[in-house]
């Protein structure tokens, strides 16, 4: 199996804590993992939280892959003209923003070049990266941009999904102001999203016949047009078109009952119109046990379900459970892809 690349995200946040604590408790999980980071970011945090950890830094991916080292293998791709510090635990800094972006981009390019099976990402502080010139609202959109072919025609070619043992949610729209959601949802983008979810549930998750639910945008799924017409004009025709292609997807359901225990059991994924329609239920039910996975990319990408939690950096209260889930999911997907 090719290696999986792990980016730690914001170095002042809990990303380094999660990796060090996960490695201490589940070292075997890291057999196929190379962390894309300056080694110093990991060494500093290991010292600060007093968890002795053997950390090796390599300057090339190949040397990291070849190393027979017992410890955390870090590949530092950051060129010397890009600042890597100082890192202050619990604080973000413009001084590390470009290095954070460099690590994510280099990891993605290695996946695209097929030097790695996929990537797992730690949490970034989005506002800090934005003010450093990063023109994307999150990893998902950045990785989709890096992966996109110039002649690509689909309106939607990637889907954000959060997945746990009890629920999977997929998003028609990702990081944008709520007032822009209605104008962003189109029939073609909805059909593209449904197709991507269907295809990746089969190929990445091994679900032979996915059963999909689609949520309405408006209260009561529009109440037959009385509370909005997006269901009638966009979502129902998109679902009908997908069903003609053999996809098992519902007409738009009222979102307030879409996440009932029965529906969570009966559907393999619930497709939602906007970020919080999807992420509130899954984080309420499974925060710390769910995985953020990007569908539609030419490589595997999983991530933790939490943010940078600056308030907890360096604390014993940091949970690394979502990182473990994200690593396990990436390994399972990579093994499936290579079998």
Ligand X SMILES: N[C@H](C(=O)O)[C@H](O)COP(=O)(O)O
Ligand Y SMILES: NC(=O)c1ccc[n+]([C@@H]2O[C@H](COP(=O)([O-])OP(=O)(O)OC[C@H]3O[C@@H](n4cnc5c(N)ncnc54)[C@H](O)[C@@H]3O)[C@@H](O)[C@H]2O)c1
Report the site for ligand Y in 98-127 (rule: CB under 6 A). Answer: 123-127
Q: Which is nearer to ligand X, 85 or 288 (CB)?
A: 288
Complex with ligand Y: residue 174 or 198, whichever CB lies closer: 174
| 135 or 262: CB nearest ligand Y | 135
292 annotated ligand binder: yes
301 is in an annotated binding site: yes
CB of 120 to ligand X, least distance (A): 11
- Supply the DSSP string of 287-332, one letter for each residue: TTT-EEEEESSSSEEEE-SS---GGGTT-TT---HHHHHHHHHHHH
Distance of closest approach, residue 12 Cβ to ligand Y, in angstroms: 11
229 is in an annotated binding site: no
Q: Which does 279 bind (CB under 5 to 8 A by kind): ligand Y, ligand X, none?
A: ligand X
Count of residues in contact with ligand Y, rule CB under 6 A: 20
Q: Report the candidate in 66, 5, 73, 65 with the shortest Cα–Cα distance to residue 39.
A: 73
Instruction: Please check whether residue 31 is in contact with residue 71, taking contact to mean a CB–CB distance below 8 angstroms.
Output: no
14 binds, among ligand Y, ligand X, none (CB under 5 to 8 A by kind): ligand Y
* Contact string 10-39 vs ligand Y (x = CB under 6 A): ----x-------------------------
Which one of ligand X, ligand Y, none is in contact with 3 (Cβ closer than 5 to 8 A by kind)?
none
Contact 116, 110 (CB under 8 A): yes
Residue 271 or 323: the one with the smaller Cβ distance to ligand Y is 323
The yes or no reply on residue 318 touching ligand Y (CB under 6 A) is yes
> Which 3 state secondary structure label does DSSP give 220?
helix
Site for ligand X in 245-304 (CB under 6 A): 279, 292, 303
Interaction partner, residue 89 (ligand X, ligand Y, none; CB < 5-8 Å by kind):
none
Tokens 């999977």 map to which residue? Answer: 168
Please answer whether residues 321 and 164 qualify as being in contact, where contact means their C-beta atoms are separated by less than 8 angstroms: no
DSSP 120-178: EEPPP-HHHHHHTT--SSSHHHHHHHHH--TT---S---EEEEE-SS-EEEESS-SS-G
Q: Residue 38 binds which one of ligand Y, ligand X, none, with CB within 5 to 8 A depending on kind?
A: none
Residue 140 binds which one of ligand Y, ligand X, none, with CB within 5 to 8 A depending on kind? ligand X
Give the one residue of 138, 210, 216, 252 binding ligand X; rule: CB under 6 A: 138
Q: What is the DSSP letter of 270?
A: E
Which residue, among 139, 136, 129, 7, has the nearest Cα to 78 in the 3D structure?
A: 7
Q: Which 272-301 positions form the footprint of ligand Y (CB under 6 A)? A: 292
HSE-CB for 253 with a 13 A CA cutoff: 19
Nearer to ligand Y, 58 or 274 (CB): 274
**In this chain, which residue has its C-beta nearest to ligand Y?**
307
Lookup: tokens for 88 = 């202050």
Please, are residues 247 and 195 in contact by the beta-carbon 8 Å criterion?
A: yes
The reply to whether 175 sits in an annotated binding site is yes
Residues between 239 and 278 with contacts to ligand Y, criterion CB under 6 A: none
Cβ atoms of residues 184 and 322 within 8 Å:
no
Q: Cα angle at 98 between 160 and 47, to 5 degrees?
A: 95
167 class by beta-carbon count within 10 Å (0-12 exposed, 13-18 middle, 19+ buried): buried
- Measure CA 204 to chain center: 14
Binding residues: 139-140, 175, 220, 275, 283, 292, 301
Site residues for ligand X per CB under 6 A: 138-140, 279, 292, 303, 305
Binding residues for substrate: 139-140, 283, 292, 301
Binding residues for a divalent metal cation: 175, 220, 275
């Amino acid at each position: 199996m090719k290696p999986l690349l792990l980016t730690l995200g914001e170095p002042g946040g809990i990303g380094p804590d999660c990796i060090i604590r996960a490695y201490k408790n589940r070292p075997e999980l890291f057999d196929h993992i190379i962390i894309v980071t300056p080694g110093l970011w990991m060494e500093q945090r290991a010292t600060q939280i007093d968890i002795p950890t053997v950390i090796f830094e390599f300057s090339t991916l190949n040397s990291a892959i070849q190393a027979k080292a017992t410890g955390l293998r870090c590949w530092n791709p950051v060129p010397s003209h890009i600042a890597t510090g100082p890192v202050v635990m619990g604080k973000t800094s413009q001084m590390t923003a470009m290095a954070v972006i460099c690590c994510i981009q280099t990891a993605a390019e290695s996946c695209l070049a097929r030097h790695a099976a996929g990537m797992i990402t730690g949490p970034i502080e989005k506002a800090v990266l934005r003010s450093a010139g990063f023109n994307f609202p999150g990893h998902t959109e950045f990785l989709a941009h890096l992966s996109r072919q110039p002649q690509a025609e689909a309106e939607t070619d990637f889907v954000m999904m959060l997945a746990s043992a009890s629920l999977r949610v997929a998003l028609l729209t990702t990081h944008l102001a709520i007032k822009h959601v209605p104008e962003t949802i189109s029939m073609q983008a909805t059909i593209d999203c449904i197709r991507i979810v269907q295809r990746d549930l089969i190929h990445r998750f091994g679900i032979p016949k996915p059963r999909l639910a689609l949520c309405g945008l408006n209260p009561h799924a529009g109440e037959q047009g009385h509370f909005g017409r997006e269901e009638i004009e966009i979502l129902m025709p998109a679902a009908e078109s997908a069903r003609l292609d053999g996809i098992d997807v519902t007409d738009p359901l009222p979102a307030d009952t879409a996440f009932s225990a029965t529906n969570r059991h009966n559907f393999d994924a619930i497709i939602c119109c906007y970020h919080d329609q999807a992420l509130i239920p899954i984080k309420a039910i499974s925060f710390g046990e769910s995985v953020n996975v990007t569908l539609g990319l030419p490589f595997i990408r999983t991530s933790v379900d939490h943010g940078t939690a600056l308030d907890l950096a360096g604390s014993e209260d940091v949970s690394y459970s979502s990182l473990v889930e994200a690593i396990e999911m990436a390994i399972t997907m990579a093994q499936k892809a290579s079998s």
